[in-house]
Structure 1
Amino acid sequence: MNKLSELISQEAVINFETGAIKASTLDAILNLLPFEMGFCDADDIFRWYSNNPDRVHHRRTEAIGRHVLELHPRIAHHVEKLLSDFRSGARDDWEFWFPRRSGEDAGQIYQKFMAVRDENGKYLGCMDVTVNINIFQGKEGKHTPETIDEFIAVKPK
């Protein structure tokens, strides 16, 4: 798999309705988020995933370009039904929680699948977001400051 810098100029700018950002900066930001994302297009082809280092689901670059049902053969009938509901408009999202598999660090996983549509409602594909919600629990010594003075007093580590 080529690096972003090998595919487009590091200076390429993506213009959004809410502002513009360099493609290389956006790529770096997506890889820093404390959750992972993936996208399959309207033809159910797996196209992209964020590449943060603490992934819940291990992804392989070889999955890119493959049909999503090939990637999930044991649950293909469930995936197919979900994508069909997204395509028809019967459903816009689906979320669930589950414990991490045995042998891995303990944790509770939250996953949400969302239909991606254009401004006219045309189905563009499916995005998933997955997060180990335990990263937000038990953060000893971290809290939300109640006043600006308390915020200013917080010393960086």
Structure 2
Amino acid sequence: MLEQKLSELISPEAVINFETGAIRASTLDSIINLLPFEMGFCDADDIFRWYSNNPNRVHGRRKEAIGRHVLELHPKVAHHVEKLLNDFHTGKRDEWEFWFPKRSGESGQIYQKFMAVRDENGRYLGCMDVTVNLDLFEGKEGKNTPETIDEFKAVKP
């Protein structure tokens, strides 16, 4: 069943009920794609299942990767990925994080965090990764948030 596309399982107009509220699937997808970071998920069998489709990705992702084993997708660093996943499966660790230079020859840094996803009983459900282009925060200085309602009202879009 997980091999099917989300649109085959859930209508974009379907409402997903969470503990903290409800939202349409299409709205949730739009929100995820606006986030200033990228996300991906592989399931408990280490099969790549999903990624956010942000327009300005730092990590290129291909739809063809969905449904493939994670180690197939990262042959050059498979031994590192295997260690990370083994630590998640066994409960030895719940997160790994890295900072590294951009690989495309551009200057800049990337932050990546991998997190074990577990249910309320601690059962391993998979691994989520978050990737942030740290250049987004470079040169951000000064006061960006109004401190009073009057300052807020004075800000012109």
Distance in structure 1 (CA, Å) of the matches to 2:137 and 2:79: 33
- The answer for the alignment partner of 1:58 in structure 2 is 60
- The answer for the alignment partner of 1:99 in structure 2 is 101
3-state DSSP class of the match of 2:117? strand
Q: Which portions of structure 1, spanning 4 or more consecutive aligned residues, are displaced by more than 6 angstroms?
A: none
Q: Aligned AA for 2:26?
A: S
Query: How many residues of Structure 1 are paired with residues of Structure 2 in the alignment?
Result: 154
- The answer for the alignment partner of 2:123 in structure 1 is 122
- 1:4–1:24 CA contact under 8 A, matched in 2: no
Distance in structure 2 (CA, Å) of the matches to 1:3 and 1:66: 14
Distance in structure 2 (CA, Å) of the matches to 1:96 and 1:152: 40
Farther-moved stretch of structure 1 (130-139 vs 44-53): 130-139
Closer, same or farther: CA 42–55 of 1 in aligned 2, 3 Å: same
Task: After TM superposition, give the deviation of residue 134 of structure 1 in Å.
Answer: 1.5
- The answer for the alignment partner of 1:39 in structure 2 is 41
**Given the two structures, how large is their TM-score scaled by the length of structure 1?**
0.90
Q: Percent identity?
A: 84
Structure 2's unaligned 5+ residue stretches are: none
1:1-157 aligned at under 5 Å gives the runs 5=7, 8-104=10-106, 106-139=107-140, 143-156=144-157
Distance in structure 2 (CA, Å) of the matches to 1:27 and 1:77: 33
3-state DSSP class of the match of 2:126? strand
**Given the two structures, how large is their TM-score scaled by the length of structure 2?**
0.90
Task: After TM superposition, give the deviation of residue 103 of structure 1 in Å.
Answer: 2.9
Structure 1's unaligned 5+ residue stretches are: none
3-state DSSP class of the match of 1:85? helix
Distance in structure 2 (CA, Å) of the matches to 1:107 and 1:145: 30
